[in-house]
Every structure is written in structure tokens, then in C-alpha cells.
Chain A
Amino acid sequence: MEATVLNLLAAVFGSLWAPIWSLIKPVWPLLWTLAKIVLIMAPLLLSVAYLTFWERKIIGWMQVRIGPNRVGPWGLLQPIADGLKLFFKEVLFPTAADKKLFVLGPIMAIAPALALWAVIPFSPGWVLANVDAGVLYLLAISSVGVYGIIIAGWASNSKYPFFGAMRASAQMISYEISMGLALITVLMVSNSLNLTDIVMAQSKGRFAGYGIDVLSWNWLPLLPMFAVYLISGVAETNRAPFDVVEGESEIVAGHMVEYSGMAFAMFFLAEYANMILISAMTSIFFLGGWLSPVGFLPDGFHWMAAKMAAILFFFLWIRATFPRYRYDQIMRLGWKVFVPLTLIWILVVGVWMMSPLTIWK
């Protein structure tokens, strides 16, 4: 791809290209990486904008309402209008707030949510950094995301944000454990920490030999772990029905109460970027990433996009369907149900892999 771009640039600039190239050659790797980052970020932020629109539409339809339909054709410009409104609003600083940390909070929320995309492969070779320890990187950086909420909650120096911060840190740490343990089974069967290798490991198996690849993806042999991972993902992003962190009927909006304008929008962006990320991770770990579900159709990014869209729809669907969990029940589900279940399933998968009945060779 890099060579194609260089050839294209040379064709565009014609005879001017040689001096330009001699000028930018030393910094070309940096420019190329920046271009790739833009290529990932721009569609991501656009997806975030339209995910909010899609969410309002879908929940509207599920509750027999119409949803946003005033701005632009079919309301399609609504997220743009919302973005502009947030952008031009004043960011207010509470007098009692810790100014520096108040600013740091939203930054710490959005930075890990964006940094995580560096190792996500979209198709063979379509990845910013194809690192060996990709899964470890995901686990490490995603565990930093909680700082945004804690810092924001503390720096606001106000009751409800502080409650929100405490709830968030307890909840996110609890569900990180079950998420990590569920991923261990995936690592065991795919024998790699590299995300591309994990996807490619799912293209092998008995069913893939028959042409029904969808049955040899990880979701079927690791079905309980798939469920645990998906539900923990919802809890990890603090989405309904696990949104007690910002439960508006109890603590108004948790850590976001004192934020306005773009600072608030940062938290909003981070939440939706995390949702899209969880959907991408679930499709890579359990649903075969960019692999086609049947043998006679070609693989490609469109399959991954479709899987991500399906998981995102699931996120919105449960938000429209379920009432909010009680806090002690959230903790019980994480520690007393998911953690033992994942520990037992790791043992089961280990025994299965060592037995003659193993399906992973």
C-alpha cells in the first residue's frame, strides 16, 4: 500500500516529485504513520457521531417514537448539530474544583479510548502496529481508562461526581478481571497474543473444512466465555443496564455533572469510542474478525464492519430493553458469577485441549 501511495504522489507531482521526496524522505516513516492514524481516527469519530444518531433512532423505534428527524433529511445532520452546539458552549470551571486535574480528567478518558485502536487489525495487514503482545497492550491501556472518571470525579469537588467516581472504579476493576480471564481461554486456543494470528487461528477447523466457517469461530467452542466477555464489555463501558456510574435518577450524571461543552463531549466521545472498540474486540476474539461466515464468499473488512454493527446494535437493544441493575447485584454478577465461571472454564478448555477430543491442533 505504501508503494502505491508513493507512486500516486509521484504521478500527481510529476517532475516536482524528486526534490519534494528528497526533502521529506527522512521524516517519511513519521508522515506515513500519521497518515495511517488519520485514516483510522477520521472514520472512527464519524462512526461515533452517527452511533449516537443511530442509538436515538433505534431506541425511539423500540419505544414507538420517531427519534430525531428535524435536522437535515431524515434527521441525518442531527449529530453534526449536536457537535457544533457542544463545541461552541463555554466550559465552566466550578470555583472549588482542582483546575489542572479538572482539565486532565476528560483527556485521560479519551486518550486510552483512542490509543487502543493502534493494534486493532481491520483486515490482513490493515493495522497500525502489528505487535506481538497486542492482547496485553489492549488489556493494559484499557485499564487506564478508569483514571479519566476517577480524576474527573475527584477534581470536580462535588458530591455526585465523587460517588460516580467511586462506583466507576469499583465496577471497572471488577469487570476487567472477568474480561481478562475470558480472554485467557481465547489465547489458549489460538496460541498467540497477536490479534491477526488470533483471527487467522479461527479460519481453521473441521467446520471450516466443510465450508461453514461460522461454526469454527471461537464463539461456539467458547460460548460461555463469549457471553461473559460481551456482558463484561457492557459493564466495562458503563452502558445500560450497568450504567449506575452515571445513573441519572440517583447521582444525576456521576462524574460528568460539573462538565459542560467540549469537556463533556470528551467523555461522551470516549464512551462511544469504547463501545465501538469493544465491538471490534469481540468480533476479533470470538466472531472471526474479517473472516467470511461461509466458504464460498470472500473474506474482507465488510464482514468485520457487519459484525461490529451487529454487536453495537446489541448494546443499544439492551439499553432500550433492560432496567438498571442494582449496585450490589452488579458486584455479585462480576465477582460471584463471572469470575468463578471463567476460572472453571479455563480448566475445562485446558483439559479439552490436552484430551484426544481436542479440536485445536
Chain B
Amino acid sequence: MEFKTLLFYLFSTVTVVAALRVITARNPVHAALFLVLAFFNMAGLWLLLQAEFLALVLIMVYVGAVMVLFLFVVMMLDINIERMRLGFWKHLPLGALVGLLLIGEMAAVLSGRYFGLANLPAHNLPANYSNTKELARVLYTEYAYPFEIASVILLVAIIVAVMLTLRRRKDTKAMHPSDQIAVKAKDRMRLVKMAPEVELPAPAAQPGEKA
């Protein structure tokens, strides 16, 4: 067996086990962490397919950003696991239907005979082939407009999300750093001229007092 095949089986086994644990783990935080593990092993599988750009971006975007925020939210919620499991039997038929549909579609794609998989060019890449460069060339020439439109839609989504949650609290004590920096000493402090305190001369010793 080739070393690559061994790696493939390792990555795919861990992916499948981790994915199963995502839906079976009782603790939502554990489930989220298993999803991270599944992402990692998927990235490994993509590396085996020589798609290094996609693999590294998967880790960077999903593991490094999306899942961190996900965990952040899951950790802060006080989730009642008992109540979450209440609707299990009710939703099972629909879930099973979707699952079967997915399996059917995957099987259709993977049985390449019907899709002319043999007609595709062989996967022989030169040593200096750069996946990143090829992707960039296509994205910024042929698909430049769809790419830009997609990014604008994402930007709009970000702005909308911010606007939906943005509310000015009346009792906020936040300060503007520029105002803080612009403050001069004379705005805050007043120097008052005062006559110096003069110490009274010591009273003369009273007659009759004992020294």
C-alpha cells in the first residue's frame, strides 16, 4: 500500500468518526470541537488531492474564524440538553429523508461512469504547478464580475448585521478617544491665585506661666 493511501484512510476515518460525534456528543461544546477536528481532516484530504490553497483556506476561514465565533456563542449559551432532545422522534422522518437524498446524490456523483469521469484529463501536474495562481487567474479574469458581486453581497450582509444589532444606549459611559486626547489642562483645571498663608508670630510667654 502506498503511503498516500494510508494517509487517505487515516484522514477519512477520523473525519467520519468526528462527524458522527458532532451529532452524537451530548455537550454542544464538544460537538463544536469535533466539527473542528472534522474540518482539519477534510483539509488533510484536500491536501492529498493537491488542492493546497483550498485546504489552507478551509483551516483559515472555517477553523480559524467561523468555528471560533461559533464556540464563542455556544459556550455563552446555557443550553438545556434535555429540552434540545425533546423533538428528536418528531423530526426524525424529515431528517432521514434529507439524509437519504444526500446519500443518493453523493452516490450519483461518485459513480463516475454515468458522468464520463474517464474522459476527464489525467491528474498529472507539473512540479511547479501553483494551485493558488491558477485559481487567482480564473477568479480575477473570467469570473471577475461574479466574484466582485459575491463580495459586495457579503459586505452588504455584514453592514446589515451590524445595523440590526446597533442601538445607542442612553446610559452609556463610552468616551470618544479623540475628545479625550483633545482635552487641554485649562478645560479641566482652574488655577486660583491665593495669598500665601503667613504664620502668626508665636505669642509671647504669659506672665505667671511656668517655664
Contacts and interface: CB of A to CB of B under 8 A. Distances in A.
A242 B110 CA distance: 50
Interface in B44-90: 52-53, 56-57, 59-60, 63-65, 68-69, 71-72, 75-76
Given A147-B68, A151-B33, A136 B56 contact: yes
Interface residues of A, number: 28
A193 B30 CA distance: 35
A260 interface: no
B132 A150 contact: no
A140 interface: yes
Contacts of B52: 131-133, 136
Contacts, number: 72
Contacts of B59: 140-141, 143-144
A344 interface: no
A328 B177 CA distance: 10
B174 interface: yes
A150 B72 contact: yes
A332 interface: yes
A147 B36 contact: yes
A63 interface: no
B56 A137 contact: yes
A141 B58 CA distance: 11
Say which size band chain B's interface belongs to: 20 to 34
A166 B131 CA distance: 36
Given A154-B29, A154-B75, A140 B68 contact: no
Contacts of B131: 132-133
A329 interface: yes
Interface of B: 27, 29-30, 33, 36, 52-53, 56-57, 59-60, 63-65, 68-69, 71-72, 75-76, 130-132, 174, 177
5 A-B pairs closest in CB distance: A143-B64, A140-B59, A136-B56, A140-B60, A140-B56
Q: Interface residues of A: mostly helix, strand, loop or mixed?
A: helix
Contacts of A151: 33
Contacts of A162: 75
- Most chain A CB within a 10 A radius of its CB, from B27, B71, B76: B71
B54 to A, nearest CB: 10
A146 interface: yes
B72 A169 contact: yes
Nearest to B175: A328
Given A101-B33, A133-B53, 5 more contacts: A101-B29, A131-B52, A146-B68, A193-B130, A329-B177
A136 B68 contact: no
A139 B60 contact: yes
